[in-house]
Amino acid sequence: MNCTAPLAPHTVRRRTALAAFASAAAAAGWPAAARATTAGWAPADRVEYIVPSGAGAALDMAARRLGQILEAQRSAKAVVVTNKSGAGGQLALHVLQQNPGNANFLTTLSSSFLTGHATGALAARYSDFTPVAILVDEFVTVAVRADSPVRDARDLAARLRQDPRALSIGVASSLGNHIHIGIARPLKKGRVDVGRLTVAPFKSSAESLNALLGGHVDVVSSSTPNVIAHVKAGRIRVLAVDAPQRLDGALAGVPTWREQGFDVVGVSSQGVLAPKGIGADALAYWVGALRSATQTPEWAEFLATNQLQPHFLAGRAAAEVLDRQYADMSASLRDLGLLDRAA
């Protein structure tokens, strides 16, 4: 005997309408994430994507390309990218804190958020928000002007070992972040007193590289997307990259730190962060949309051009990677003497 109560007419009509909508969306070629509106949650007409760096920097470039792909796949009608650099990322995080539970606000999940909390620059930790997914791994380069007398990484370390203040170094966007670590770790391996280095923070790597070209700093540490155009134009020379092996494309000729006698490999991540308290359906929507976006030829081309490594992780796997990075970076900061307080 079947004791299931009959469905009310309005429920039948709603399910029929949803099924028809899903069928039409599938026929139109919409990705699974876009069709997830049938499950209840869908983005508003305008999605705010906050970038914790200046315009033209690596984080900004990735956010804008991602937004274009999400729009093209109809996973979002409009992704509006806004730059809020400064305060070690706090300005970007503040937007999420002002919009708890609202999945129409996203920001770039950068490794600088991990180091910011470890150094005490940020009160909030990434786990105080909703990590949606890790998208890519990035590597840090160290560059000088094309006419610099510094020949290679060994020469750089030798000069700074003799006088740690002999050369000024530009980083973005805060002291003690993964970009700062990216040059301090190998230099310490080269017996440089990294606590005495002259390090200047800029709002973005675009600004620090402009300062390098203008002669205002002697060396710049930055992630790969920021240096490629300058390398192609012959304006700068990249001395080293903290990747485990040489990269491709415009940076194929750049030796790793390991090749030059510095036993250092570094990996940092980029991803997407949402406010605390978003619903499970909204989280599932964005995970699906981002997974779909990162499987497109357009995203693959962007990564190859900028020498970023694909590394999509969501859920527990992403949290575990972030926890490991936090522990590793905290240990590096402590070892470098850059940690203001215990993590």
Which pLDDT tens digit goes with each residue over 179-227?
999 999 999 999 999 999 999 999 888 899 999 999 999 999 999 999 9
Residue 25 has what pLDDT? 40
- Taking only Cα atoms into account, the Rg of the chain, rounded to an integer number of angstroms, comes to 23
Of 52-56, 73-77, 122-126, 170-174, where does the model show the most confidence? 73-77
Mean pLDDT (the chain) is: 87
**How much is the pTM?**
0.80
Distance CA 157, CA 257 (A): 11
Range scoring the smallest mean pLDDT among 137-151, 155-169, 309-323, 324-338? 324-338
Average pLDDT over residues 287-310: 97
d(CA 246, CA 230) in angstroms, rounded, equals 18
> Using 50, 70 and 90 to split pLDDT, how confident is the model at 20?
very low
Q: How do 105-110 and 268-274 pair as beta strands?
A: antiparallel
Tokens of 135: 């998208």
Q: Count Cβ atoms within 10 A of the Cβ of residue 236 and give its class: 0-12 exposed, 13-18 middle, 19 or more buried.
A: buried
pLDDT at 120: 85
Residue 63 has pLDDT above 70, yes or no: yes
